[in-house]
Structure 1
């Protein structure tokens, strides 16, 4: 009997132990239905959003087509919450309360700083230096190619170039969801004053379409490489005979030898450091508002990475925060944003017109990177995959899907640069372009 009880207690839902989760979910449901949710403050809000978010996350991770092509559990948490609001299962007052608990009080800003920190600092210094010298110019050519073809196809559908760039190109090339579309929506609302959820709902729809197109394009590039061998290095990016490829850190399991002595992760220090960097970014933004807050965040962490001044224990702790923060708190963000989203507006973005535009933008990113590859001594097929398609997908999971479809998993380190550093560049550009174009 005790063994059965223990087994039931240890059962998990989406990586969370089911017993404490079920108790929390049941109690938060009672508060929500009885109309007393707001009496519990931010704790009650988090309990409800975790309850909704992790159930939807688990469902999204189990549906094969949704998991592989739409975005998995995180996007299900967002869309599912919007559905609940649409059908009145979450009332207007509770909807506003949930959104305010994460977005309105700037708690979201802290989460995003920690997320960007973990992403950028996880790229080792030598890799980052190589990317700045070689891969970043190719990524910029990919962004230019995406913008150029996007504007051209936009003219066909009579959409203004400014809207194409701000609502299509930037979300597609922004490095994914957590460190791309979500902070971009915050930049949008800071600049325009409009609802961030409205922009996010449209942006994530376009990004989801683009991710599908990027996977198809990756498969096509693999076939092009087979047909024209001179265009590909068969997984090797650089054409220089003396080039040393970046090791594939993170793609294969390594033996767990434990942390090095004196380098154990200090989560409390990582939290304080993230808060300090957020305050520094806010101060710099106040002094120089021409550069947006999240652009300053990117600049600070890239500079810290290149300067190599942070202790290994702090970098490791920030990476750990990134991992559990993405799971525990980004779900909250997506539930909150889903609560702010009009389902009808979200569905209206899934049109034939947007499928064509997103596909042409992905094609432009592919052409921009492939055509500029030889200038920087890269193979065109590998450059198009690593610097083009791995910017035009949904981030980490999208990178794996693109590399799997192209059969070039050796490009994983470069894909991470595109998603993380490239996404940071796009956030930097968004701070300027939103002000100029909107």
Structure 2
């Protein structure tokens, strides 16, 4: 656990570096967008902006939609083992692609999202830092060998995301920050890393990178180590 937490702390620190790089080289960053698709940007601009002044019924409907999607994600976890947050994301994408939610319901969901983004994120980070983090074990893990391994691992993830994203035509800085989330501690780690990188809009991609990408990395690493050790 201390190594995992130290890796998450390193990822939070490193996540701020691509953001500063994006300020110096604006063409390398999408400011929360992974794909530089001009057509999508024009379509987004042409859509009417949410007023943010939804009534109580609209907000409650948006919250109930989020709960329903999470329950479907839990059902998917029981049936096929897919992590509930990832299943929830897939269901949300399906609803959006099929136009299964009315504009009023989407506006309520947007208000709920903005509320949690602005009012719940920082209390969660504070609670994790004060009540959950085992600081004594974390300090005990501060050795030169551990730091070298952790920093090199997280840096390799970020660098791989940057260069692969650049190679395939995506915004490399945003891809690097999403790749960095593979070193975080689940959903709470994603919140901390994306907050450090000022990329909270990338939370859906970060969840997939953490739940699926992290599991793939661990599985492949264990297979490689098993072959070398045997």
TM-score by length of 1: 0.36
Q: How big is the shift at 1:302?
A: 2.6
User: Is 1:282 matched with 2:74?
Assistant: yes
**In structure 2, how many angstroms separate the alpha carbons of the residues matched to 1:337 and 1:391?**
23
**In structure 1, how many angstroms separate the alpha carbons of the residues matched to 2:52 and 2:118?**
26
Computed over aligned residues only, the root mean square deviation of the Cα atoms, in angstroms, reads: 4.5
Among candidates 4, 8, 12, match of residue 211 of structure 1: 12
Q: Which secondary structure state, in structure 2, belongs to the residue aligned with residue 392 of structure 1?
A: helix
Determine the structure 2 residue equivalent to 1:361: 153
Q: Is the 8 A contact 2:62 2:105 kept in 1?
A: yes
User: Is 1:427 matched with 2:211?
Assistant: yes
Cα distance per residue 1:15-74 (max 9 Å; x no partner): xxxxxxxxxxxxxxxxxxxxxxxxxxxxxxxxxxxxxxxxxxxxxxxxxxxxxxxxxxxx
The 3 A distance-change label for structure 1 pair 391 and 374 is closer
**In structure 1, how many angstroms separate the alpha carbons of the residues matched to 2:168 and 2:193?**
24
**In structure 2, how many angstroms separate the alpha carbons of the residues matched to 1:218 and 1:322?**
23
Cα distance per residue 1:329-387 (max 9 Å; x no partner): 55368637854553312333444444433432343234323443464245xxx51x121
The 3 A distance-change label for structure 1 pair 297 and 247 is same
User: Is 1:244 matched with 2:38?
Assistant: yes
The 3 A distance-change label for structure 1 pair 281 and 355 is same
The 3 A distance-change label for structure 1 pair 434 and 271 is farther
Q: How big is the shift at 1:391?
A: 4.0
Q: How big is the shift at 1:269?
A: 1.4
The 3 A distance-change label for structure 1 pair 245 and 355 is farther
Q: Is the 8 A contact 2:18 2:197 kept in 1?
A: no
Q: Which is greater in Rg?
A: 1
Q: Which secondary structure state, in structure 1, belongs to the residue aligned with residue 27 of structure 2?
A: coil
**In structure 1, how many angstroms separate the alpha carbons of the residues matched to 2:67 and 2:37?**
40
Gaps of 5+ in 1: 1-198, 226-233, 249-256, 401-411
User: Is 1:308 matched with 2:99?
Assistant: yes
The 3 A distance-change label for structure 1 pair 391 and 275 is same
Gaps of 5+ in 2: 31-35, 43-48, 182-191, 223-230
**In structure 1, how many angstroms separate the alpha carbons of the residues matched to 2:62 and 2:159?**
40
Among candidates 117, 130, 135, match of residue 343 of structure 1: 135
**In structure 2, how many angstroms separate the alpha carbons of the residues matched to 1:390 and 1:279?**
26
Determine the structure 1 residue equivalent to 2:174: 386
The 3 A distance-change label for structure 1 pair 422 and 339 is closer
Q: Which secondary structure state, in structure 2, belongs to the residue aligned with residue 308 of structure 1?
A: coil
Determine the structure 2 residue equivalent to 1:50: none
**In structure 1, how many angstroms separate the alpha carbons of the residues matched to 2:210 and 2:219?**
14
Cα distance per residue 1:63-108 (max 9 Å; x no partner): xxxxxxxxxxxxxxxxxxxxxxxxxxxxxxxxxxxxxxxxxxxxxx
Determine the structure 1 residue equivalent to 2:185: none
TM-score by length of 2: 0.61
